[in-house]
Amino acid sequence: MVTIFIDNKPHQVKPDQNLLQACLSLGFDLPYFCWHPALHAVGACRQCAVKQYKDDKDAKGRIIMSCMTPVSEGLRISVDDPEARAFRKGIVEQLMLNHPHDCPVCDEGGECHLQDMTVMTGHNYRRSRFRKRTHQNQDLGPFLNHEMNRCIQCYRCVRFYRGVAGGRDLNVFGAHDHVYFGRHADGPLESEFSGNLIEICPTGVFTDKTLKEHYTRKWDLQTAPSICVHCGVGCNTIAGERYGSLRRIMNRYNRDINGYFLCDRGRFGYEFVNSHKRIRTPLVKSPSPPAGEGRGEGGKPADRETVLTHIADILSKAKGVIAIGSPRASLESNFALRTLAGENSFFSGIGNEEQSLVSLIIDIQKNSPASSPSLREIQAADAVLILGEDLPNTAPLMALAVRQASRNKQFEIAAAMKLPLWDDNAVRNAGQSAKSPVYIISPAETRLDDVAAKTAHVPIQDIVRLASAISQKLDPNIPPLSSGERTEVRGQDVDALAKEIATVLMNAKHPLIVSGTGCQSTGVVQTAANIARALQLKGKAVQLAFAVHECNTLGAALLGGRTLDEAFTVMQDGLADTVIILENDLYRRADEASVEQFLGRAKNIIVLDHIMHRTADQADVVLPAATFAESSGTLINYETRPQRYNEVFVPRGDIQAGWKWINAIMMATQHPAPGGFATLDDIIRKMSRELPLFAELADLVPPAGFRIAGQKVPRQSHRYSGRTSMIADRTVHEPKPAYDADSPLAFSMEGSEQQPPAPLISRYWSPGWNSVQALNRFQQEVGGDLRKESTGTRLIKMIGGQSEYFRIDLSEDPAESPQYFIFGSEELSNLSPALGKRRPMDDQQDPRMTM
Amino acid sequence: MFSILRSILTVFMTMFRKRITVQYPEERSTLAPRWRGRIILSRDPDGRERCVACHLCAVACPVDCISLQATEDQMGRRYPEFFRINFSRCIFCGYCEEACPTCAIQLTPDFEMGEYLRTNLVYEKEDLLISGPGKYPGYNYYREAGLEIGGKAKGEGSQDEPPVDVKSLLP
């Protein structure tokens, strides 16, 4: 810690940061544009000027740019100095010369960094009588709206898009005051991280096109902390609702996982919540035709009581019940189903190959000494080996973390030259094209190949061969492949490549192995574990990450359900005649014929889901389940980190969370399970009692009874408008806001204005900071942990040391690997119209192949 | 003694003053144009809706009685899909008019809005929209904004230069 003097008051700050960061961390309102905690400092906008003094006798001082000044012992500056203030005001005035008169129709209005900074500097009257420069806009695809007139040339967009996300098709063109940020021609932005430009851009050049369809100001959104449901990474999001429809997804900062960024699938996939395919009322087909004769078309809407009685009737007459859970339903819903049906009748609802892989991954995580890294830890790796996983398509944010890890070499070089690491241009200049080694061995090209030291695009069995060779270079005791070793695969010399990779991994301080379920290959996962084990035995602090493809794959697997094949057998043997399917389309999990046969044999099919699909079409009873935005629950991500998503809004009609429906069924059938599942906390308490693995789940998030100074945490901003008029077309009586019994959040603008604990943050706002940059005010130090951060834990802790090497059998591996697409492979986001426009033409594909 | 007489005289003199009580509703007094009565939505000089659905009136409203939803026509011109004022809640403070950046929402010198049913005091856009520019003739927001909308290309706004040629290197 060093002491600096700001306006003659001493402050203790960390030495390895720039002055702007230090001032913001201390709570000073210092305006800035080009600096961003994730993009570091380039000193382009001249907005963060302060005055520096030589010593306490110096009265004159000189103006410096705080973002380009390192903090040093005894540094004396003034933020409040009139000259520095006038300078900052002048800069904003100059930026506003060409800024259009757009705020009322600009989507950034009300959460605009430029608005905030203009107010902060005190510039409020236009003196210039000259005209404003204008630009033609571009069509940047279905996600982003482009309005170049509003640009203030801070260069954040290209620095993010090219420097962080590795995109190539956005750049700056032109000269002097004509510079233009865009593509070479109209067309969708290629990078899967383009949506972050919405939050990166300090003004309204890049805005959310999907939000534009149903535009709502930030202050009018009812928001709640949520978790992305479109892949296994578990990025934290803030979801916003207005008038009963979900309006947008924004990033919620979690230092360990997504940091400042989201992928486009996570940001724009939300529209399935508003989809016309939603199930909004219970549907009952009557009368049930006898098994095997096909089922009547379309159920008829029924009311809640009728349908519950009907289900109770079905269940009481059932010969046996098969309950199929889902990797895209919450842990609580799965657990409630497991309790309803009993442990032996619960099937996890993951495809067979995938389930065996996921069980293997869980075994490895339990027994392997290699820890399962968070994205932040992945970012810190200095050598990465990716085995068989197409990260940009299956776990995009993990790909982004690996991309950042590849820059660690540059930071190393810069640190050796004693350059400050926050000085972006200096670091990039010193590092040139140096990269930390990333090796990608995958079935096909990936969009991460550009940072790879070497890539090998080989069939799955050859991936296993190569990986096995690497592991043997690390430890000759590893059992060789039982058959089919080769010296050359697809023109790559196995021995040389294996030797190179093994050497790099051995020389690294933090080697990282990444694999996953993408290849649907046991061999790939096992060799990855073998390599990690070998490195660990050599004393390396190795990390081993496995990407899984759905938001709660690990949760569903950890509950210990049986496989889908077993369910088919049970049905075939006639041991059961009733099926309850929770948020799952079986046609995506197994081949069509077996599913047809399975569903055909079932006498009664009960489906709980939020969207119609082929399985729900065949159901006798369909219950409208809530999506992530309309219910609360827990999801477990790829590293077994449980995270809570919260109800954003109360759905209309009979829609309710899966676990609430199951609770209602239990009540209707007078199920013996004691206690009931009236609230989320009840289920979690019961779950942590019954399953020791989930013992810590209750401490994850403050319970529903948590209050700050006796108050709940509001979901609505204190500026929430239209309260007495939004439903006035239906009734002039204003009902009491709904009560949320499942979380400490309130469906109201009333409540504590204090910063809540991190899992309860539902918006970023601070006086004077209306944009997302208000996040600075929520962090202990800018770019660091949040205040009141409760660092989430992994369910599976490192136990370590007892694992054996796997003996790998090539014959089990599939010959071909499925192809994945960030837009199109995931079931829910697929229903989003914006995402649909970016989907490759995959209509004819086997649905399982796109999982 | 004197003060008592003075008081009696003052009261007596009042009898000869001009009456200010008006026999409403038979007689009506003239209200100033800036009187804050029934709220209307005006049109710009081209006869199109002035409201651009910026939500500023709604957020300025202290009783939260304005709600609206923004939408856009095919030419990119933003307007309210619905615009609702619950006059049974309105306190006629005029903050909405003050907040309006496009002179769209205006308060008028009409206060005769009595109804037997509260639901009849909920005004939708059809009820609010008038056919003229109201108190502020001449102003057309879209002529000032940099936005491209139907009938106005980039650079045709009143404050705009023609769009720059990015490929030009001329100073």
pLDDT tens per residue, range A760-785 = 999 999 999 999 999 999 998 888 88
Give CA separation, A156 vs A50, A62, A121, A423, A448, in Å: 22, 27, 21, 14, 22
Taking CA–CA distances from A130, the nearest residue in chain B reads B159
Residue A295 pLDDT: 54
Taking CA–CA distances from A218, the nearest residue in chain B reads B55
- Select from B102, B141, B161 the Cβ nearest to the Cβ of A133: B161
Residue A841 pLDDT: 65
- Average pLDDT of span A492-497: 86
Is the Cβ pair B66, A725 closer than 8 Å? yes
pLDDT category at A643 given cuts 50, 70, 90 is very high
Say how many CB pairs under 8 Å bridge A and B. 136
Question: How many whole angstroms separate alpha carbon A572 and alpha carbon A610?
Answer: 28
Pairing assessment for the beta strands A578-582 and A321-324 based on DSSP bridges: parallel
Pairing assessment for the beta strands A438-442 and A383-387 based on DSSP bridges: parallel
Give CA separation, B37 vs A430, A511, A810, B112, B137, in Å: 68, 72, 83, 9, 19
pLDDT category at A799 given cuts 50, 70, 90 is low
- Average pLDDT of span A130-156: 94
Is the Cβ pair A722, B160 closer than 8 Å? no
Q: Which residues of A touch B101 (CB under 8 A)?
A: 103-104
Is the Cβ pair B86, A178 closer than 8 Å? no
Pairing assessment for the beta strands A642-645 and A633-636 based on DSSP bridges: antiparallel
Those of residues 633-672 in A touching chain B at CB distance below 8 A are none
Domains of chain A and CATH, by start: 2-96 (3.10.20.740), 278-347+552-636+650-694 (3.40.50.740), 360-547+798-820 (3.40.228.10)
Domains of chain B and CATH, by start: 28-144 (3.30.70.3270)
Residue A291 pLDDT: 47
ipTM: 0.89
Those of residues 750-789 in A touching chain B at CB distance below 8 A are none
pLDDT surpassing 50 at residue A429: yes
Per DSSP, A162 falls in state I
Question: How many whole angstroms separate alpha carbon A164 and alpha carbon A155?
Answer: 13
Residue A850 pLDDT: 39
Residue B35 pLDDT: 93
Taking CA–CA distances from A99, the nearest residue in chain B reads B146
pLDDT tens per residue, range A589-632 = 999 999 999 999 999 999 999 999 999 999 999 999 999 999 99
Q: Which residues of B touch A176 (CB under 8 A)?
A: 171
pLDDT tens per residue, range A683-710 = 999 998 888 888 888 888 899 999 999 9
Q: Which residues contact A580 (CB under 8 A, 6 or more apart)?
A: A321, A322, A323, A324, A337, A340, A341, A606, A607, A608
CA angle centred on A158, ends A259 and A549, rounded to 5°? 40
pLDDT category at A790 given cuts 50, 70, 90 is low
Q: In what order do the strands lie in the sheet with A578-582?
A: A300-301, A283-284, A621-624, A604-609, A578-582, A321-324, A346-347
User: What are the helix (H) ranges across A278-370?
Assistant: 304-317, 331-341, 352-367
Residue A848 pLDDT: 41
| Residue A665 burial (C-beta neighbours within 10 Å; 0-12, 13-18, 19+) | buried
> What 3-state class would DSSP assign to A543?
strand
Residue indicated by tokens 């379309």 = A298
Residue A845 pLDDT: 47
- Average pLDDT of span A127-146: 93
pLDDT surpassing 60 at residue A849: no
Is the Cβ pair A103, B162 closer than 8 Å? no
Residue A365 pLDDT: 87
Q: Which residues of A touch B63 (CB under 8 A)?
A: 724
- Average pLDDT of span B9-13: 92
Is the Cα dihedral A354, A360, A366, A370 positive or negative? negative
Is the Cβ pair A132, B63 closer than 8 Å? no
pLDDT surpassing 80 at residue B102: yes
pLDDT surpassing 50 at residue A438: yes
Indicate the average pLDDT of chain A: 90
Is-contact A291 A319, C-beta < 8 A? no
Residue indicated by tokens 């005649």 = A577
Residue A817 pLDDT: 79
pLDDT category at A811 given cuts 50, 70, 90 is confident
For residue A656, give the amino acid letter.
Answer: Q
pLDDT tens per residue, range A402-424 = 999 999 999 999 999 999 999 99
CA angle centred on A140, ends A139 and A146, rounded to 5°? 75
Residue A674 pLDDT: 59
Structure tokens at A468: 């096995």
Is-contact A76 A7, C-beta < 8 A? no
Chain B: give the shortest CA distance to residue A109, in Å: 9
Is the Cβ pair A104, B119 closer than 8 Å? no
pLDDT category at A800 given cuts 50, 70, 90 is low
Is the Cβ pair A134, B61 closer than 8 Å? no
pLDDT surpassing 90 at residue A839: no
Structure tokens at B164: 């720059």
pLDDT surpassing 90 at residue B55: yes
Per DSSP, A163 falls in state I
pLDDT tens per residue, range A49-74 = 999 999 888 889 999 999 999 999 99
Question: In chain A, what percentage of residues exceed pLDDT 70?
Answer: 96
Q: Which has the minimum average pLDDT: A233-237, A489-493, A816-820, B50-54?
A: A489-493
Taking CA–CA distances from B52, the nearest residue in chain A reads A105
Chain A: give the shortest CA distance to residue B107, in Å: 18
Residue ranges of E strands in A340-407? 346-347, 383-387
**Left, alpha or beta for A538 (phi > 0: left; psi -120 to 50: alpha)?**
alpha
Chain B: give the shortest CA distance to residue A131, in Å: 5
Question: How many whole angstroms separate alpha carbon A485 and alpha carbon A469?
Answer: 9
Chain B: give the shortest CA distance to residue A450, in Å: 29
Is-contact A820 A518, C-beta < 8 A? yes
